[in-house]
Structure 1
Amino acid sequence: MRRFPTRTLPAAVALLCAQSAAQAAGFALLEQNASGAGVAFAGKAALGEDASAAWYNPASTSRLKERQLVLGAHIVDLNADFNATSSTPPPGRPAGSAQSGFGDMGYIPNFHAVLPYNSSVNFALSVTAPFGLKTDYAPDWAGRFQGVTSDIKSLNINPSVSWQVNDGWSVGAGISAQKLDAKLTSVVNFTPFGGTEGLTSIEGAGWGYGFNLGVLGQLTPDTRVGVAYRSSIEHDLEGNVTFNNVPAPVAAVFSNSALTSKIRLPASFAVSSVTRLDPKWQLLTDATWTEWSTIQQLDFQRNNAGPAAAPLTVQDYAWKNSWRFAVGGIYKYSDRVNLKGGLAYDLSPVPDERRAVRLPDEDRYTLAVGSQYLIDRKTTVDVALQFIKPKNANVNRTEGNAAAGQQSSITGQADGQAVILSAQVAYKF
């Protein structure tokens, strides 16, 4: 009996969202505060404006001398389409629609707190969603055999501590407990087995643990530099693969089962600066390296499946490390109001020859504006708007087992943009 390699749980994680609205390339999210969103996250490891600084550089919370809570949220609106110029479905199936939107609207919450212990030591806690978003193609589109839905959610709990060594320098460290929940669906061709089409659904979750380190230094009276490192995190994922509309003759091959896998999400290293140009203006810069080469080859295993069950194939991705560069400015309009703006350029980790419909990722540009308003001595509000425009992404992809009647190919281009509206409240107590 012919065997069919199903889609994979790691694919649900590693190939998250087609041209995702995530700030960082791949499927990472930088949106962990609104005060940084207004400057496109330039200076993020050196700014230290509020308690959310703990996420970007644990050392930078040493600048905060009062207890503070930050509650923020981001609304992400991704508007994108895939237009196929040619496609070849598996034998016996119609091609389907050549065009499909894949954008969706998402919500990213975050929470931060800083508790000074004494004049030199601060404790902090960040609860964030550093990876995620959701995209959906139409269920009858031409690339449905290579992907329909990708959905990932993350939760990261990150306590940290900072120590002010002297008037000019601080260091910090933290640990992270991170949870991933993933779901991926795609269509299966059952025509060779006397059926039509069915849906494969992969769902799974797992926990991983890591750490982060930071240094903050006042190089001159007007220039401050921050350096931050966040470790990679390996996740042990457990989940299930399910099939529907399976013809009776191949029910044992396409049987539901549990599965397990491992995935190592990338480390990152950031260097940021904040320079006071005059009493009104601050210039911010940032360069961030991300170790996306951790996504190379993903292996996984079925559990409790019958002897005739289709084996799960190894997935080859060959992602590469990438960089993100940002520059921004803060203008002190008045004692209560700061105006912000920023630009960023993000390099994709996905090689051109590896680009797939689940992640037609390309280099992207970000334009950001924002404002900060001091309501009173205890309360500050930030709002920000970002416009993200990826380059058009060309895809020429063939997937599936030809011997099992599952091979399909698609050639086309993904085009889209994202708008992110961010807001937060910082409260001292």
Structure 2
Amino acid sequence: MKKSMLKTSLGVAVALASSQLLASGFALNEQSISGMGTGFAGRSSSAEDASTVFGNPAGMSRLKREQVTVGGAAVIAKTDIKGQSSYGGETDGDMVPVVGVPMGYYVKPIDDHWSVGFGVYVPFGLVTDYGSDDAARYWGKKSHVEVVTFQPTVSYAFNDKVSIGFGPTINRIEGELGSNLNQRFIGQGDGEVKIKGDDVAIGYNVGVLVQATDRTRLGLTYHSMVDYKLEGKTRVSTALIGPYNGDKFDAKLNIKTPESVDFSVTHELDDQWTLYAGSTWTRWSRLKDITVENDVPAALRGSAFQTISEEQNWHDTWAHAIGASYKVNKQWTLRTGFSVDQSPTNNENRSPRIPTGDRKIFSLGAGWSPNEDMTIDVAYSYLWEEDTKVNNQPGTAQEGLLKGSYQAKYENSAHGVGASLTYRF
């Protein structure tokens, strides 16, 4: 019940399509449309527009004009589910709605050394909704979690070769999680548990950019861990708790979203062709378990509704990407990329909230600059995952009555589309 719910509650951090999102776990990649076109290869070394505030804050030193970049991406997911529950129900593949990921950045050069900037973006997220009759409803009926990050940023160029950048991140998370409770053994229909909560926490983003040769740049970016202490309310609707049926209890969950390190290379073959490559390491092993503490009345202390814990045992992951761009003329640039991304989940603890596996992503993109002041970027990505299995078994007799068991095979894929506008002043 809540355990499943809150496991994702923060283990995520944006409301945007769990396993179908274009990054591992519940992380999102869609912070740059120009980067999306090359499969996010060269994320830390490209610095093509103001979205470098996220990709590598040191890259602001390459932007010689004040500029703003605004845009968004949409994820259209498809899931084929073959499964069953000990309590029956449908296996509907439409558990991820179409979702949007907004972004916005601003960069202003101060002089030959200093630049300042600001970014608003979504680094993590989750949305799944199985419906009231789905076989997975007892293990994760609905998950809607969102993290929005605000990042003031500064960069300093030591010379024309080396620059650094830093930005503290102000991260707000909020979410709603729900699961059904079986009540057939007392002659009633399903009960329900709903959890809502939020928090604000601080992190940071730091990067280094090196112009190694006239045509080759190296970038290294570190995104810090963020430690959340989520507080909210848990509402339990079940006749099993007698007079407390429908009451709300204070709930707390401590969870950390992982740090990551991205290293990438951008190499200009000539005036038209540019190659990109990059790797990202993410410390998902921080997510060992999710434990929710509820402030329940004395009569419910020691019950399944007071302390709920769920094993996750996620592991660290690597993502690798390669890409290329071709400058057709002064107005048009074409892009493509391919990436592979490990899943942090394991076969024993995988949940229907994040039924994700290792994935591959193919991307296409284009940039159109009708004049020197404006660029419009568009991108498309297709993601497909290896088939994954979920095998949720109750750990106690009480959990068996309330949730039963759930086994399913997931075949996940998704289309991602995005567009952004960069305007230079």
TM-score normalised to structure 2 length: 0.94
Q: Secondary structure, in 3 states, of the residue corresponding to 1:341?
A: strand
Does residue 251 of structure 2 align to residue 259 of structure 1? yes
Structure 2 CA distance for partners of 1:59 and 1:23, relative to 1, 3 Å: same
Q: What is the root-mean-square deviation in Å for CA atoms of aligned residues?
A: 1.9
Specify every segment of 5 or more residues in structure 2 that has no aligned partner in the other structure, as ranges.
none
Aligned to 2:26: 27
Please list, as runs of the form range in 1=range in 2, the aligned pairs for 1:35-54 lying within 5 A after superposition: 35-54=34-53
User: Matched residues in 2 for 1:390 and 1:182: separation?
Assistant: 26
Does residue 293 of structure 2 align to residue 293 of structure 1? no
Structure 2 CA distance for partners of 1:249 and 1:161, relative to 1, 3 Å: closer
Q: For 2:348, give the aligned amino acid.
A: E
Please list, as runs of the form range in 1=range in 2, the aligned pairs for 1:295-310 lying within 5 A after superposition: 295-303=287-295, 305-308=297-300, 310=305
Please list, as runs of the form range in 1=range in 2, the aligned pairs for 1:5-404 lying within 5 A after superposition: 7-14=4-11, 20-84=19-83, 86-89=84-87, 95-244=88-237, 246-247=238-239, 250-252=242-244, 255-303=247-295, 305-308=297-300, 310-399=305-394, 401-403=396-398
TM-score normalised to structure 1 length: 0.93
User: Matched residues in 1 for 2:72 and 2:3: separation?
Assistant: 36
User: Matched residues in 1 for 2:240 and 2:402: separation?
Assistant: 18
Structure 2 CA distance for partners of 1:98 and 1:304, relative to 1, 3 Å: closer
Q: For 2:377, give the aligned amino acid.
A: D
Does residue 409 of structure 2 align to residue 413 of structure 1? yes
Summarize deviations over 1:306-342 as a string: whole Å, max 9, x none.
4325312122111111011000001011111000000
Contact 1:174 1:211 in 2 (8 A): yes
Which segment drifts farther, 4-13 or 72-81?
Answer: 4-13
Which segment drifts farther, 373-382 or 389-398?
Answer: 389-398
Summarize deviations over 1:172-200 as a string: whole Å, max 9, x none.
11100001111111110123344221121
Structure 2 CA distance for partners of 1:18 and 1:394, relative to 1, 3 Å: farther
Contact 1:15 1:359 in 2 (8 A): no
Q: For 1:414, give the aligned amino acid.
A: Y
Summarize deviations over 1:349-382 as a string: whole Å, max 9, x none.
1112221211111001111001001121111110
Structure 2 CA distance for partners of 1:101 and 1:330, relative to 1, 3 Å: same
Post-superposition offset of 1:103: 2.3
Summarize deviations over 1:123-169 as a string: whole Å, max 9, x none.
01110011114221131111211111111111100111111111111
Aligned to 1:92: none
Aligned to 1:425: 421
How many residues are treated as equivalent by the alignment?
Answer: 419
User: Matched residues in 2 for 1:6 and 1:165: separation?
Assistant: 50
Q: Secondary structure, in 3 states, of the residue corresponding to 1:13?
A: helix
Q: For 1:38, give the aligned amino acid.
A: G
Q: Secondary structure, in 3 states, of the residue corresponding to 2:307?
A: coil
Post-superposition offset of 1:279: 1.8
Identity %: 29
Specify every segment of 5 or more residues in structure 1 that has no aligned partner in the other structure, as ranges.
90-94
User: Matched residues in 2 for 1:132 and 1:258: separation?
Assistant: 23
User: Matched residues in 1 for 2:248 and 2:359: separation?
Assistant: 39
Q: Secondary structure, in 3 states, of the residue corresponding to 2:333?
A: strand
User: Matched residues in 2 for 1:277 and 1:5: separation?
Assistant: 54
User: Matched residues in 1 for 2:199 and 2:48: separation?
Assistant: 33
**Structure 1 segments (4+ residues) deviating >4 Å:** 4-8, 15-19
Post-superposition offset of 1:7: 4.8
User: Matched residues in 1 for 2:171 and 2:2: separation?
Assistant: 30
Post-superposition offset of 1:96: 1.4
User: Matched residues in 1 for 2:222 and 2:334: separation?
Assistant: 29
User: Matched residues in 2 for 1:11 and 1:276: separation?
Assistant: 41
User: Matched residues in 2 for 1:312 and 1:264: separation?
Assistant: 19
Q: For 1:88, give the aligned amino acid.
A: S
Structure 2 CA distance for partners of 1:10 and 1:99, relative to 1, 3 Å: closer
User: Matched residues in 2 for 1:208 and 1:256: separation?
Assistant: 25
Structure 2 CA distance for partners of 1:189 and 1:250, relative to 1, 3 Å: farther
